[in-house]
């Protein structure tokens, strides 16, 4: 009994130490955001010698004459449109694969699953050529419009696994009463799949908010920059880098992700575990 308590205590100590180790970069960044630039890389002390909030003031003023609030709005716009697009398109595709019968359904589902193994970089150049020819480069269209066509195979697969747990008998009753396929999708499938849909929304927001590579490829106008692109502008490899402002705005950019995770973590866990365990 005593040995079991000792093992349990050691286990919790190891977990706490691992947690602190993972939190160290975030704590160092938060501490550095209140330091002057000359002090940031001097020593390893977390406590600033001279506490200042000028980094937040200077960073919020932005770069290239654009306030950092504008970058937040740009990121929020792309994330919001992406969430709506993924929820609508991926849920419709998943509903078809999970509850409808049509010719070559298994073949199409297998092709969709294969797309999960296709690296993003393989599609990058062909997509850029197409978007450039139709004049979409330096706009938000390449980052939002494709999502209305169910291009996220991971979300489709997750929703399919979740929708398969919905009893077919439950859907037969409204069908007998004359409810059509689309009516069942709107009135029954969508409400019953709410935990999985919230999970899709959370993942979409996190991935879109943190995306750097795609946005760097398609956006070149500083006024259209997102938070990820704007943070890079504080670091100049050939000139002066504003490390304090960079860390300050990096801390602020984490707040939306932190708030969403705190308030919606129950739906996130429920959506993932229900689809994976019962599916």
- Is residue 216, in this structure, part of any structural domain at all? yes
172 inside domain: yes
Within a domain: 228: yes
Write the CA distances from 205 to 74, 114, 116, 142, 202, integer angstroms: 13, 24, 19, 17, 5
**Angle at the Cα of 220 (from 218 to 223), degrees rounded to 5?**
120
pLDDT averaged per 10 residues, the chain (length 279): 78 89 87 86 76 89 84 95 96 93 90 86 90 94 94 91 87 83 90 89 92 92 92 73 88 90 76 53
- d(Cα 138, Cα 182) in Å, to the nearest integer? 36
Q: Which of 255, 238, 236, 256 has the alpha carbon at shortest distance from 246? A: 236
User: Which tokens is 100 given?
Assistant: 């409808």
| Residue 5, pLDDT score | 78
The total number of structural domains that make up the chain: 1
Is 37 part of any domain? no
What DSSP string describes 30-94?
Answer: HHHTTS-HHHHTSSS-SS-SS---HHHHHHHH-BTTB-HHHHHHHHHHHHHHHHHHHHHHHHHHH
Q: pTM for the complete prediction?
A: 0.87
How does pLDDT run across 214-251, given as a tens digit for each residue? 999 999 998 999 999 999 888 875 556 788 889 999 99
- How far is the C-alpha of 13 from the C-alpha of 33, rounded, in Å? 30
Question: What pLDDT was estimated at residue 81?
Answer: 96
Indicate whether 196 belongs to any domain: yes
Place of tokens 């978007």: 131
Q: Is residue 106 part of a domain?
A: yes
- Per-residue DSSP letter, 114: H
Give CA separation, 2 vs 8, 9, 88, 104, 253, in Å: 10, 11, 55, 61, 46
Residue 43 confidence (pLDDT): 67
Tell me, what DSSP letter sits at residue 211? -
Residue 223 lies in domain: 69-278
Nearest Cα residue to 35 out of 27, 46, 24, 23: 46
Q: Let me know: does 194 contact 274? Beta carbons within 8 Å.
A: no
The dihedral built from the CA positions of residue 174, 178, 182 and 186, taken in this order, carries a sign that is negative
pLDDT in tens, 29-66: 888 889 888 888 876 677 888 888 889 998 898 777 78
Identify the CA nearest to 201 among candidates 261, 124, 146.
261
In a domain, 24, yes or no: no
> For tokens 């995306």, what's the residue?
211
The pLDDT assigned to 272 comes to: 63
Q: Which two tokens stand for residue 84?
A: 């709506």
The CATH number linked to 127 is 1.10.3720.10
In a domain? residue 43? no
Please give the radius of gyration of the chain, using alpha carbons only, rounded to the nearest integer: 24
Conformational region of residue 117, where left means phi above 0, alpha means psi within -120 to 50, and beta covers everything else = alpha
Q: Which residues, at least 6 apart from 108, have a Cβ–Cβ distance to it below 8 Å?
A: 97
Structural contact between residues 79 and 208, judged by C-beta atoms closer than 8 angstroms: yes
Residue 239 DSSP one-character state: S
């Amino acid at each position: 009994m005593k040995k079991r308590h000792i093992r349990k205590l050691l286990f919790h100590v190891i977990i706490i130490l691992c947690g602190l180790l993972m939190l160290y970069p975030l704590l160092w960044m938060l501490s550095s955001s209140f330091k002057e630039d000359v002090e940031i890389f001097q020593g390893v002390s977390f406590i600033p010698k001279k506490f200042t909030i000028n980094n937040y003031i200077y960073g919020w003023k932005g770069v290239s004459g654009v306030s950092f609030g504008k970058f937040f709005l740009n990121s929020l716009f792309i994330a919001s449109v992406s969430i709506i697009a993924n929820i609508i398109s991926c849920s419709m595709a998943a509903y078809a694969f999970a509850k409808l019968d049509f010719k070559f359904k298994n073949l199409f589902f297998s092709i969709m699953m294969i797309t999960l193994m296709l690296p993003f970089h393989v599609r990058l150049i062909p997509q850029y050529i197409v978007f450039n020819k139709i004049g979409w480069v330096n706009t938000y269209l390449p980052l939002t419009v494709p999502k209305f066509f169910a291009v996220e195979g991971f979300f489709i697969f997750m929703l399919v696994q979740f929708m398969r747990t919905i009893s077919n008998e439950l859907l037969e009753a409204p069908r007998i009463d004359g409810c059509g396929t689309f009516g069942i999708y709107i009135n029954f499938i969508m409400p019953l799949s709410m935990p999985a849909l919230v999970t899709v929304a959370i993942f979409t927001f996190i991935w879109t908010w943190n995306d750097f590579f795609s946005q760097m490829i398609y956006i070149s106008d500083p006024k259209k920059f997102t938070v990820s692109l704007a943070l890079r502008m504080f670091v100049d490899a050939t000139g002066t880098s504003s490390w304090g402002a960079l860390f300050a705005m990096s801390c602020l950019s984490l707040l939306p992700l932190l708030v969403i995770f705190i308030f919606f973590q129950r739906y996130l866990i429920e959506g993932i575990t229900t689809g994976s365990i019962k599916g």
